[in-house]
Amino acid sequence: MDDQQLWHLGLSRLKALYSGFTRETELGFAVLLTRYCQTKEALAEVIAEIDASSVCHQCGGQCCLNGKYRINVFDSLALFARKSIPSVNFIQRPVCPYGSQDGCSMEAGLRPADCILFICDAINEKLSPQSRMILASGEQDLRECIEQASRLTGVRLRTPLLLWAEEQKSINPKV
C-alpha cells in the first residue's frame, strides 16, 4: 500500500472513529479541539511577529522537507471535524505532501503540531525571551490537549496518521 492509499485509509478510519463518538465524547473532543487549534494559531502569531516568512523564504523551507509523518491523528481529526482536508501530493518528494511551492496548504490552526512547534536556529535567534516562554507554554498546552483527547477517545492521537493507518490496516484489513 503506498502513501496515497494509506492517507485515504487513514481518512476513512478517522471518519468511522469520529462518527462513533458518543455525544459526551464528541462534546469533550470539540472543546479540546478548539483549544488545540487556537493555541496553534497563537503560536503561529508569535512566529509571524518576528517576520519568520522572510527567514523561511531565504532558506527555502528546509523544515518542510520530508513531512509526510508530521500530521498526527489528532491533527487529522481537526481537519476532518473542520471539513478542511487538504489535497495531498506524496509524489512531490522531498517537499511536504501537504503543501506546495507557495507554502503550507493549511491555515495555522490546522497545521500539524510538529510544524507549528518547530523552531529553526535562524528563527530562534530572532525570538525574545518572552516569545520563547510563550512558545514553551503553548507547546505544553498542545501536548496536554493531545493527551486529554487520547484518554477521551481511547486512541493514541499523537501517532502520525500514515503510521496509524498502517496499524489499522493490520488490525482490520478488510475495512
Question: Could you please report the per-residue DSSP string of 130-170?
Answer: HHHHHHHHHHHHHHHHHHHHHHHHTS-TTSBHHHHHHHHHH
Tell me if 130 is assigned to some domain: yes
Q: What's the pLDDT score for residue 100?
A: 72
Domain hosting 113: range is 3-170
Q: What's the pLDDT score for residue 135?
A: 95
Tell me if 175 is assigned to some domain: no
Q: What's the pLDDT score for residue 96?
A: 84
Tell me if 57 is assigned to some domain: yes
Tell me if 106 is assigned to some domain: yes
- C-alpha–C-alpha distance, residues 141 and 160, integer Å: 19
Number of structural domains in the chain: 1
Q: What's the pLDDT score for residue 51?
A: 83
Contacts of 55 (CB under 8 A, 6+ apart): 120, 122, 123, 126
Tell me if 104 is assigned to some domain: yes
pLDDT digits (tens, 9 = 90+) for 96-150: 888 877 778 888 899 999 888 889 898 999 999 999 999 999 999 999 999 999 9
| pTM recorded for the entire structure | 0.89
Strand ranges inside the chain, DSSP E: 99-100, 103-104
Tell me if 80 is assigned to some domain: yes
Tell me if 38 is assigned to some domain: yes
Asked whether residue 154 carries a pLDDT value surpassing 90, the answer given is yes
| Per-residue confidence band for 172, with pLDDT thresholds at 50, 70 and 90 | low
Element (H, E) at 61: none
CB 146 within 8 A of CB 113: yes
Tell me if 12 is assigned to some domain: yes
